[in-house]
Amino acid sequence: SAVISQKPSRDICQRGTSLTIQCQVDSQVTMMFWYRQQPGQSLTLIATANQGSEATYESGFVIDKFPISRPNLTFSTLTVSNMSPEDSSIYLCSVPSDRVYEQYFGPGTRLTVT
């Protein structure tokens, strides 16, 4: 299994600012995924980040708002830009296992925008 860490674990930010969330995996993986979980809601896939290529965003999510970097096979960042209170959510990264049906999730970053 993969061990995933995220930084920060939580943060409180002012509206209009940006926050960069880090995701570190203890093994090399080609694909990494970023999810958002709004308060009391289920998870929604934001984008897929492949090393060496641009991230692929899901409907409703754009690069200007959620830029993603994937500099190597063990690390990715998600930036939440120009934040508003509606961006208050838990942001999680995940990676697939060797078995295509299983994904490992990080502990999440709890973001509150005031």
Partner 1 sequence: DAKTTQPPSMDCAEGRAANLPCNHSTISGNEYVYWYRQIHSQGPQYIIHGLKNNETNEMASLIITEDRKSSTLILPHATLRDTAVYYCIVAPPDYKLSFGAGTTVTVRA
The count of residues interacting with partner 1 (CB under 8 A) is: 21
Q: From CA 103, how far away is CA 114, in angstroms rounded?
A: 32
Task: Please name every residue paired with 48 in a beta bridge, in sequence order, or none if there are none.
Answer: 33, 56
Kindly indicate which of the ranges 13-21, 64-72, 74-82, 89-97 contains the residues binding partner 1, using the contact rule CB under 8 A.
Answer: 89-97
For partner 1, the binding residue among 25, 46, 55, 92 (CB under 8 A) is 92
Q: From CA 43, how far away is CA 64, in angstroms rounded?
A: 21
Nearest-approach distance from CB 22 to partner 1, in angstroms: 15
Which two three-digit tokens encode residue 85?
């209170």
Give the binding site for partner 1 (CB under 8 A): 4, 31, 33, 42-45, 48, 92, 94, 96-97, 100-108
